[in-house]
Amino acid sequence: MQIFADFLNSLTGAPAMIGLLLTAAIIFVSADWRVALSALLVQYILVGLALVDTVRLEFVLVRILTGLLVTAILYLSARYIPIGTHEKEDEVGPHIFGLHVGWLAGPLGFPLRLMASLLVVLLVVRVFQSYTLAAVPMGLALIAFWMAGMGMLGLVLSGHPLRAAVAVMTFLAGFDLVFAALEPSLALVGFLSTFYLLGALGFAYLIAAHSLAGTGTEGRRTEG
């Protein structure tokens, strides 16, 4: 247990920030929903770790727990997609351990998604030249902007509710990173957690409705 606690402790601060940079990028760039959801799960844990020095520990735990539930809800609905969908999916591109790795898998294809994420890097750097909000540490704010940018980009390119859900949750996690430092009210933390959970449930319902209609096949094929 102590080893585990020491490990988590070592992840707070800069490692958590770097992890958040990477997970937001992975969520956007990855073509496979399993990779995207795994990255989202890690992202929620890292958001909690990044906030350890800023907010009370119980609030951090609430955030991590909410993230775990959000990811679980999305994972269960993704699994709900009929078997036929996966069969179609398997026809597209090469795989490693059952995961898509093809250049053209996912929206736009991998190279264009990579270029789009580079544009977000430039945008975040540009926005940060005029950053003035003293109440939020600059590191946290930078990561939050990056996550919000990647989330918005993912949202613009999403053609399937599952991908839109992961993108929106990345955007909201980025917002939470900043807002947690600004508003430490217990009521707000509770309401925000309920808001995230209901949002995830809403997306779960849409994913199920989309796949039940048979349109899921097409959506997942283009989404990877």
Partner 1 sequence: MTPLPGAIVLLAIPLAAALVAYVLRRWAPAAALVSVAATASLAMLCGRLPLDRSAYVVGQEVAFGRPVVVAGRTLMLDAAGQSWLAFLFALAAVAFVLAWRLKQGRLFFSFGLVLLSFYVLVALLQTFSLAVLVFAMSATPALFLIQGDRPGPVQGGERYLLVTLLAAPMLLSAAWLAGQGQLATENAAMARMALLPAALGFGLLLAAFPFGTWMPALIAGAPPLVGAFLIAAGQAMALFLALFFLQEAPWIVQDAALLEVVQFVGLVTVVAGGLMAAVQRDLGRLFGYAALSDVGYVWLALGTGGSQSLTLALLHAANRAAPILLMGASLALLRHRAGSDAFAGLRGAARRLPIHTAGFLIGGLALAGFPMTAGFATHWGVGRAVAGAHWTWTVLLLASSGGVAIGLLRALGAMLGDEPRDDAGKQPVVRSILVVVVAALVIALGVYPQLFLPPIRRAVEALALF
Please identify which residue in 21, 35, 206, 218 interacts with partner 1, judged by CB under 8 A.
Answer: 206
Q: Which of residues 133-152 bind partner 1 (CB under 8 A)?
A: 133, 135
Q: Which stretch binds partner 1 (CB under 8 A): 30-38, 76-84, 108-116, 202-210?
A: 202-210
Residue 212 CB, nearest approach to partner 1 (Å): 3
Per DSSP, the residues of 55-121 read S-HHHHHHHHHHHHHHHHHHHHHHHTS-HHHHHHHHTSS-EETTEE--TT-STT-HHHHHHHHHHHH
Among 59, 145, 146, 171, binds partner 1 (CB under 8 A): 171
Partners of residue 25 on adjacent β-strands: none
| Residue 132 CB-density burial (10 A; 0-12 exposed, 13-18 middle, 19+ buried) | exposed
CB of 202 to partner 1, least distance (A): 4
Residues 87-106 that bind partner 1 (CB under 8 A): none
Determine the interface stretch with partner 1 among 4-12, 13-21, 91-99, 197-205 (rule: CB under 8 A). 197-205
- Say how far apart CA 29 and CA 36 lie, in whole Å: 9
Q: Does 72 bind partner 1 (CB under 8 A)?
A: no
Q: In sequence order, what are the residues at sequence separation of 6 or more whose Cβ sits closer than 8 angstroms to the Cβ of residue 122?
A: none
Residues in contact with partner 1 by CB under 8 A are 133, 135, 155, 161, 164, 168, 171-172, 175, 179, 182-183, 187-188, 191-192, 194-195, 198-199, 201-203, 205-206, 208-213, 215
